[in-house]
Chains A and B, each alone.
Chain A
Amino acid sequence: MIPDRIIEQGTLTSNGSRSSVEVRIPWYRALPGSCIAGATLSIDGIPADPGSVRWGMNGKEFTFDELRDNTDEWWFPLDSAVLSGDVPAAADGSEHTVDVDLTLYIPYIVISENEVLHIEEHDTKTMKAVNA
């Protein structure tokens, strides 16, 4: 696992009230949308409202509810996804602390009768924001 690579340095953008950051898969192989169970985005300790969080992948944007049944769109290991939500990040040259929690299901590691392994990974990085 490569949790230290989840948040891509220097990718924080904001329009004042809504912000986004690019994220990388902390796993060695592609996973479908159905295995991306959820993510949270916090900036300077303030979490984005969960209902406002969106997952951008392959040029499309999803809620996590929409990803639940999606086995057509895959997160390829070399691709950045875009995690966005309603939380401010002033593009004023100041440093912001970005925290991302990510929950993934690993579809081939069966751990009980009807359940596969899920992993919860966290990354935190500090960076300046740029205007969206």
Chain B
Amino acid sequence: MTETLGTPIQGVTLYSFTRASHQREYDLEALIRKVAADGYGPGLEIIGFSSFRGFPAIDDSFAGWFKDLVAEVGLTQTSLAVNADIGIHRDRLLDQDELIEYMRLQIEAAAKLGFPIARVQISLTPDSMEQLAPIAEKNDVTLALEVHADQYASHPRILALRDRYEKVGSPRLAFTADWGATVTGFAPSLLEAYRRRGASEDLLAQVVDLWNGYYAEGPPANQQVHGQRFGSFIGLAARNGRPELGIDFAINGTGLFGPARVEDWLEIMPWVRHVHGKFFGIDENHEEPSVPVRDLVKLLVENGYSGAISSEYEGWHWNHWQSPFDIIRDEQAVQRSAASNAGSRMITDNAEAKRVLAAHLAAPVPHLN
């Protein structure tokens, strides 16, 4: 625990509103205006390949329009989520030079659009991150590699990245902590979605029991264990006469609901420069029933974290019956309450958010003890 409590910046990723944008209910401008007007910011995260046509090619006039819009409505750009599309050619994976070039274009797009952080993904190895560090430094963009289920902070692949960061010593190499790695239950809203698809209560109870067993064991030690767990959800569905639900159980049960403990984040905390406040729903008590939001915010505050938390609502995949806007409003209220209970607060003022985020990203390069 550090002596100074953190003041995380409230924010949202537009990914949370995928269903509304996909159905053309809000275009990019309308959605950004709504985020500002309804108080989901000030932090604003966007996925490049979701929201910018032609990405990563961004022309000057578009970049100008975009930055003017964000300034006008009073938001603070946090992370541009970029993708390591290593399998873009169907018959082979990108070679190392191609991958670095593919990422360079997106890092430059982040800089051009005014994002100080680029969220990158696990398919980038320690060697790739080391190669990308000078590109990130040149563009003044922090590369925050997302730690996402089925990975977790103390997973060997993540520790190898952390150790390389320590060796390289670049201020622009970092992590995004995705709360989906530290979940405490199989999301009730997804169980409700399965119920609506005709899954029996007995089957759903077995799914919950299987997941709870893995939670008790802790996160998978390696890919082999991960694979066994994945297969066990498929087997469960098959044994219960619902084989068509098996892949869905498996993908969500292992890839969305990661069973690491909240304290696991301490393994990489000094390098966490961005957070995805991943969550799946809000219950009748206005709490998140399967993501320990309060414990996670407390951990961040007590460890001096003053970066952004992008509320990342993932329940849109299956929840057709509730408004994502109401759900995200309630989840952010939980975050603010948790920060207050921890003796601090979430930052919701735009000018303050800009100052705090700039200081957060300018913090000294961490070192392992």
A: residues with CB less than 8 A from B are 1-2, 5, 24, 28-30, 32, 34-35, 37, 68-69, 71, 74, 76-78, 105-110, 114-116
Q: Which of B81-89, B207-215, B260-268, B287-295 touches A?
A: B81-89
- Which residues of chain A are within 8 angstroms of B85 by Cβ–Cβ distance? 107-108
Q: Which one of A1, A5, A74, A115 lies within 8 Å of B23 (CB-CB)?
A: A5
- Which residue of B has the minimal Cβ distance to A25? B22
User: How many whole Å from B42's CB to the nearest CB in chain A?
Assistant: 23
When the two chains form their complex, are residues B22 and A34 in contact, meaning their CB atoms are under 8 A apart?
no
- How far is A105 from B171 in the complex, measured between Cα atoms in Å? 34
A116 near B92: Cβ-Cβ < 8 Å:
no
Q: Which residue in chain A gives the minimum CB-CB distance to B14? A: A28
Q: B-side interface residues toward A, CB under 8 Å?
A: 15, 18-19, 21-24, 27, 47, 49-50, 53-55, 83-90, 92-93, 121, 123, 317
In the complex where A105-B87, A107-B86, A116-B87 touch, is A30 in contact with B55 (Cβ < 8 A)?
yes
| Nearest CB in chain B: distance from A126 CB, A | 19
* Chain B residues within 8 Å of A114, by CB: 92-93
The DSSP consensus for interface residues of chain B is loop
Complex interface: chain A residues within 8 A of B123 (CB) = 108, 110
CA distance A74 to B55 in the complex (A): 10
- List B contacts of A37 (CB < 8 A): 90
- Check if A34 sits within 8 Å of B93, measured CB to CB: no
Complex: chain B residue closest to A112, CB-CB = B223
- Given A1-B317, A77-B50, do A29 and B90 touch, yes or no (CB 8 Å)? no
Across the interface, B90 reaches (CB within 8 A) one of A30, A68, A78, namely A68
What residues on A are CB-neighbors of B83 within 8 Å? 29, 107-108
Measured in the bound complex, the distance between the Cα atoms of B24 and A5 in whole Å is: 12
* Residues of B close to A108: CB separation below 8 A: 83-87, 121, 123
B53 touches A71 (CB 8 A): no
**B87, A69: Cβ atoms closer than 8 Å:** no
Residue of B nearest to A113 (CB): B93
Q: How far is the CB of A9 from chain B (nearest CB, A)?
A: 12
B234 to chain A, nearest CB (A): 14
B24's closest neighbor in chain A, by CB?
Answer: A78
Interface core residue of A5, A29, A109 (most chain B CB under 10 Å): A29
Whether A69 contacts B89 in the complex (CB less than 8 A), given A28-B47, A28-B50, A110-B123, comes out as: yes
Q: A34 near B86 (CB under 8 angstroms)?
A: no
A1, B123: Cα distance in complex, Å: 21
Interchain CA distance A34-B93 in the complex, whole Å: 12
